Amino acid sequence: MKIILPPNLPNREKKRRNDYLRSMSQTLSTEQLNRIADHYGTPVYVYHAEKITQQFSRLTEAFASSDSRFFYACKALTNINILKHIRSLGCNVDCSSVNEVHLAVKAGFDPKNILYTSNGIAFSEIEEAAGQGVNINIDSLSNLEKFGRRYGGTYPVGIRLRPNIMAGGNLKISTGHEKSKFGIPVEQLNAILALVEKYDLRIAGLHIHTGSEIRDVEVFMKVADIFFELAPHFKDLVYLDLGGGFKVPYKENETGTDIELLGQKVAEVLNKLQQVYGRRLQAWFEPGKFLVSEAGYFITQVNVLKESATAAFAGVNSGFNHLIRPMFYESYHRITNISNPEGDKKHYAVVGNICETDTFAWDRELNEVREGDFLVFHNAGAYGFEMGSNYNSRYLPAQVLVKDGAHHLIRKRDVFDDLLRNQVEVL
């Protein structure tokens, strides 16, 4: 793919485009993907370890001038091998359920490097997480009071706040607006402070996550402004957690969040906090998609071609049971035909084999598609396999990790026995 840069781009924009071009070097080739498809069959998820490494390096370089910590939001992809690779980079891990906490512990993460933030959960799950000794953010006044009764000031804890900010690429992935279920509304600050005083709670962190696919750095700065106003109320504060939601480029020539600019802005905010309040705080972030999305490929095979008066359909051996994002979020995934990369360009509706409408793309220009060809969905590392199901009693696909040029099976494809594994026959 050739990308031509306009001659008069601002220096920062040129840098971002150049970073994008360099990132293309950390991609798997058509030959590699074809070999993997031939070897393991399809559909199959493929992940590139070196791309994950590159993304984490970009984060650490961008935030080098600030005291920042990164916790991989593992809900994006929880395969134990991915977690181990993330840990090997020196990255921490963010968990959305206590089972993810247990996975992180199994992958070798030290409890002090595990962050647990969940919502709408029974207090017993919070107790289970506390039993592991991990960092905890609490999402409701109800559970904050229960935490105070149980632990008082003996266990430092963070609180997740709802800032009433609308942000994110889609309402379904916007989590900080005034109707969102997430977090304690900031207008309930007095109720929070009353609980802090009543139970001598040690509030170690303030957490706000406004959503996913946030391109505008100013959204994070709005969160920082809220933190600036709230910080004086919490004497034990250690960290300010700005969540995640960095945008990654899904389309050709699209740019994501300007991580370098964000790193610069965060350093300025932390310095200002120290100057005004005499306190040096850490900035915490929870990147998930940013680390693994571009490292993932989903390879499918074309079962049938159909022609109609309105569309040419390419039916593949998958559906929203394997990749639900296009149907759920109307998200865009670049698709390439790796079996016929030099074929003439034609337009297709790429559809699945599920007994529902599972259209991956309408009127998509692809190199000529033939039955048996392999079609690859790019940027499939985040919320692809993780949101998969056995709908229509279809098997979940295999997962493969490519590291140091070698490919490794990290999850076997389902077989029929997997469909019956937890069923109990009583008749």
Annotated binding site: 245, 325, 329, 356, 383
The residue from 74, 91, 95, 355 that is catalytic is 355
Residue 397 near residue 384, CB atoms below 8 Å: no
Tell me which amino acid residue 14 is. Answer: K
Provide CB contacts within 8 A for 6, sequence distance 6+: none
Binding site for pyridoxal 5'-phosphate: residue ranges?
245, 383
Residue 399 near residue 410, CB atoms below 8 Å: yes
Residue 230 near residue 189, CB atoms below 8 Å: yes
* Residue among 1, 49, 57 at smallest CA distance from 26: 49
DSSP 8-class letter at 246: B
Tokens 């993304």, residue? 55
Neighbouring CB atoms inside 10 A of 173's CB total 18
Alpha-carbon gap, residue 409 to 147, rounded angstroms: 42
Tokens of 299: 């390879």
Tokens of 163: 């800032």
* Residue among 237, 290, 285 at smallest CA distance from 117: 285
Alpha-carbon gap, residue 42 to 305, rounded angstroms: 18
Specify whether 95 is catalytic: no
Alpha-carbon gap, residue 352 to 313, rounded angstroms: 10
Beta strand ranges found along 270-383 (DSSP E): 282-285, 296-307, 312-316, 335-337, 345-351, 359-367, 374-378
* Residue among 48, 47, 77, 44 at smallest CA distance from 299: 44
User: What is the 3-class SS of 360-422, one letter each residue?
Assistant: EEEEEEEECCCCCCEEEEECCCCCCHHHCCCHHHCCCCEEEEEECCEEEEEECCCCHHHHHCC
- What is the rounded radius of gyration, in angstroms, for the C-alpha atoms of the chain? 23
What backbone torsions phi and psi does residue 86 show, to the nearest 5 degrees? -60, -45
* Catalytically active residues, by annotation: 355
